[in-house]
Amino acid sequence: MLARIMHPAETYRRRAERAERDFENARDPKAKRFAQVAAQRWRELAELAQRQETKGAPIPPHFRDASEAVHYAQAQGYLLYWKGTPAFTKRQRELGGRFATLPVFTRKGMTHVSLVPLDEQVKASEKEPS
C-alpha cells in the first residue's frame, strides 16, 4: 500500500482534529483535560509549520558567483538588482531600511546585489505615477 506523504502542517492539523474528537468523547475529566491540551499543542505546531512553509528558504549570507545569485533569485521569486545600476539606487531609495545587500564574488572582484521579493516590487511600482 502506498502512503500519501503530507506536509507537516497538514499532519499536525489532522492530529489536532483527532485530539478534539477525543476531547468530545472523553468521559473522565483528566482525559478530557489531556485531550484539550494535546489539541491546543497540535494546533500551535500546525500554525508554526504553516508559517515556516510560507516563509521559504533562507537567504544565504553571500553568493560564490553571479550565476549562483541569478539562479537563487529565479528559484525563490526575487528580483535582482546589481550595485552600480540606476535600478539599484532607485530601489534603495524606495525601500529604505528594508533594502539589504549581499556580497557576490565575480571575476572582477566583489560587488553587491540586492534581492527584492516580487510582491514588494509590485507595491513599489504601484506608488509611481504613470
Q: Where are the domains of the chain?
A: 8-55, 66-127
Residues in the chain where the model's pLDDT stays below 50 = 1-3, 130
pLDDT score, position 4: 52
Q: What is the 3-state secondary structure (H, E, C) of 67-86?
A: HHHHHHHHHHCEEEEECCCH
pLDDT score, position 62: 82
Q: Where are the beta strands (DSSP E) in the chain?
A: 78-82, 101-106, 109-117
Q: Which three cell numbers stand for residue 113?
A: 546585489
- Return d(Cα 13, Cα 83) in angstroms, integer: 44
